[in-house]
Structure 1
């Protein structure tokens, strides 16, 4: 494999082949150099600079979280399916296909993105690379649940930096599709902050805890934190085992919380009760209960 990398480096860089070959040896066996150039992880000359080397490390870091899920779902000759919400340029989908699905020889990745121009570019790149088991849908996350182009069940749902309620739509999609696993990186949780601001005066009179969101900056920060806590409780109440960690270095952003949920079928009543109690404590049971599986009357919405 190193010999093949060396040959590719000679063809691409000529007199700089030895240096380029050493850099290409950092790639995983069989990894597409052309794809990494398209994703700007490798330069057009096939080289790694300091920034692209950091990007490559980040890609591998994320892949290490998802690969074990795919391996488990591929056992016994099964063909795993994965839906990537808010796919953008389908960065994640292409990497997963290149590093896992390509060698597996089965399974399918669906990239879901509302910007038509990005969907067309992804389709063209997949065709050029021969990534035949990738489909790209020009849909919002919310509209994708009932899309005829998607199968009734999806094994893995991913959503990286899906803004605000799009993350909740991705979770709802995963529940509807009976996903075996979800990998979520939330972003821009504005809805909770808006709800907290609306009842701020009343809450300040009711409880000293309202000081936690009296200042606008704290409102945004607390809203983000509470939203993610509620998402985790919602997933646990629906039968998922949840792990929360950092998506180290995926981008220079505070929005690097990674939520990994694996379906076990053990629905935690205590998680549902705590979810309801937190919403009630913040005065949000009526405004946001339905989003997390609780209707206005407080009776749990059954999940599939």
Structure 2
């Protein structure tokens, strides 16, 4: 096979992986595609995750008035803003609306601003703030339609939820990562818990503490969202072979707070010796 044919086949293979209308220039700027327009295995995996998440978010955006014509979306822990740029390219660019990327690393914010300028993505803003700071920041509107947090580490997911509640977000799309706070609390109270209940055997060993802490954290988050008037769906983002941080939480605002969810949240925190979190992460009033 000649070099020209090989190149044409490689290009066709790459195009098969991309969404219709996807900007090749954008993917090269994000280093998802090489300068030659090729995809390596790591980039293919990353793109698969972002595209899969895009499918969920696009469906929610289309449920907004005018099929999302003036939607606002805040992406927390944006990093290099892969998600924000691809959402803008495939959805917002042709419709209107605004994408806000929120990230603590100033160098990534600056790079994202430069790239948005180069691509003419005029309705993208990048804010050098923590998730918690962004709740009261001047550069964001009073209400946000969609809040996303892809692999926001540890308590950043909880901060994204708090932001969504403060902004009365219609939807929240969360892929939690590296939950450590609850696991640390479980470790601190382990001796007391072992004397009180056989359930503590579930987190007696360090590895189990980490895993139970992670699972419990997400269960508590779902109850917390339900208690604040959201309908919650939990599913997989992609196959486990692509990412171990794979839990996807989708919350839709109904405005119908569930008293039963609030009671179960309090009971669960009490059972695990975590009631102090009612004053910090899981405030119900």
TM-score, length basis structure 2: 0.93
Q: 1:10-48, CA deviations, whole angstroms, 9 ceiling, x for partnerless residues?
A: xxx977653254235423332110111122332211133
Query: Aligned match of 1:216 in 206, 225, 250?
Result: 206
Is 1:158 equivalent to 2:136 in the alignment? no
Query: 2-side partners of 1:188 and 1:54: how far apart?
Result: 20
CA contact (8 A) 1:230 1:292 kept: no
- Supply the distance in 2 between the matched residues of 1:77 and 1:36 (Cα, whole angstroms): 24
1:87 alignment counterpart:
78
Residue matched to 1:100: 91
Question: Which ranges in structure 2 are unaligned for 5 or more consecutive residues?
Answer: none
1:70 matches 2:61: yes
- Which of 135, 145, 170 is 2:135 aligned to? 145
Equivalent residue number for residue 238 of structure 1: 228
Which residue does 2:37 correspond to in 1? Answer: 46
Higher relative contact order at CA 8 Å, sep ≥6: structure 1 or structure 2? 2
Alpha-carbon distance between aligned partners in 2 of 1:54 and 1:242, rounded to the nearest angstrom: 27
Hey, what does 2:196 align to over in structure 1?
A: 206
- Which structure 1 residue ranges, 5 or more long, are not aligned? 1-12, 295-299
- Alpha-carbon distance in structure 2 between the residues aligned to 1:108 and 1:276: 37
1:250–1:99 Cα change, 3 Å: farther
Alpha carbons 2:50, 2:82 under 8 Å: kept: no
Distance 1:40 1:249, change over 3 A: farther
Alpha-carbon distance between aligned partners in 2 of 1:168 and 1:149, rounded to the nearest angstrom: 21
Cα distance in 1, alignment partners of residues 77 and 124 from structure 2: 15
Cα deviation, 1:181-230, whole Å, max 9, x if unaligned, reads: 00011111111011111111111111111111111111111111111000
Number of equivalenced pairs: 282
Do 2:62 and 2:68's aligned partners in 1 also have CA atoms closer than 8 Å? no
SS at match of 2:143: coil
From the CA coordinates, give the structure whose radius of gyration is larger. Answer: 1
Q: CA RMSD in A?
A: 2.0
